[in-house]
Structure 1
Amino acid sequence: MHRRGLLRRGEDGALSPGFLLFIVAAAVGSLFLVQFAHAHVLRTEAHTAADAAALAGARSLRDQMIASLAMAPPLGGGMPVLDEAMMHAQAASYAARNDAVLLPSSGRAGMCRYRAEVRGTNNVMSGPSAELQQGRPEAAAAAEVQLPQLTGFGLSFACTPAFSGGLNIIDLDRVKDLVPGYPSLGSPEPPPDLEDPPDPADYDDPADYDQAYEEWQDAVEEAMEQQEQAAQQAYEAARQIWYGKVVDHARGLLTNGSEIRLVAP
């Protein structure tokens, strides 16, 4: 009779079937955990890429809106033309920086939002979900532009922020007060190099003098009109330059008062 716990003949160094099964299960479980962790990392990276792409697209949208302020009266008119291809280019660039590609379904979502959909460039090894079985994780994000309200500019973006206080209204008259140097038209200078009026003593016939004087008056009036036109043109040019400064100042206020935030896609 053998005592309990003693090895039988030939059992030296042998592994029990239960222990082998445990080792195999542990190896499979470890592999699954590694793959699951890798998939989680890639999904997180895809969401990060989507956030970055949406913010970049929204920044391009905001910058184009602010640049379109020059189209408002008195420097122009009409609705701003927004280049969505430029927004896509910016969004695609930031998606690529985060190992993802921007999908064609990305684009503006309303007047003040940009929605980005991306697909990661790194393959997921395997996984039970439909997303993982496709090999590359996808993610979506949206960013919203908020701009202060414009009054007096003849242009509105309908992107007024919901926050209270701060710079949420930009008034044209107020901006004008902040920009010095508004030009004045003034009186035109007398025309240079005008001949003296004709002298009656130089004419024997009064009719000849009257004709010469009338021609002199016509020349003076024409020269004065040219001076007035030149003064008006100089005034308009100076006025356009001044309004350009007003617009630049308003653009700066818009940029400083703007907000871009992630919202639900």
Structure 2
Amino acid sequence: MSGKKSLQRNGSAPEINIALLGSLGVGKSALTVKYITKRFIMEYDPDIEDTYTKHESWNNRDITIQVMDTCDKENSDPLRYLRWADAFIVVYSITSQASFEKAKEYLETVNQHKKTFCKESVPVALLGNKIDLERYRQVSKAEGTKLASDYMCLFYEATAAEEYEYVEEVFHGLILYLLQYKNCYLPHLYISEEKPPTGQMPVRPKSPKGTSERKDEKDSKGIPKKNTSSFKLFNKSFKIFN
């Protein structure tokens, strides 16, 4: 036995739900649409919460990815995404210390939910966005790395304004974990009896530099790689720029 979990949904393609959490203005919508369309948006309605669907193929295996671009308002119930998501991306802007403090609150909320409702760990990525605005940085990479280490989650710094690969790597890091090493029960997925290796999800500090080199290294290790993808947008209002 390989020791890897096989995710199925009644014999159909696996379905993975990913929720983006963070303060208004940190770039959740831009990151979401960058992943879905490979394009950068500059104008959008920050008060709209929406869900996007993308279909990908990994080693000829179809996967459905659903991404919730959340918008927390006063008195809104976080259970709508805590119960829905299989993985979380907590986003802050490196140009805003306030958004970093809010990210800590989101990580704590997710952590408490995991302890209460999940048998084991749910993958979480902490993402410092807007590295294209380095000259305005208020949150150091070391601070982000330490916070991710404190909560045993993945860590990335990226930007939706530049290369698609920066954003793709964040989503694919979570997807690969769910497909290969996922150890939290997903109610809507059938999980085979094969068990993954024990241990906690590793902390993997990321830099936007050398993306192509890391991608080649992953391929050489036999990790499933994306072949094709398609996407479906719903009611989000935005302007896309090439």
Whether TM-score is above 0.5 comes out as no
Higher percent of residues as strand: 2
**TM-score normalised over the length of structure 2:** 0.19
**TM-score normalised over the length of structure 1:** 0.18
Instruction: Say which one has the larger Rg.
Output: 1
Higher percent of residues as helix: 1
Which protein, 1 or 2, shows the higher relative CO under an 8 Å CA cutoff with sep ≥ 6?
2
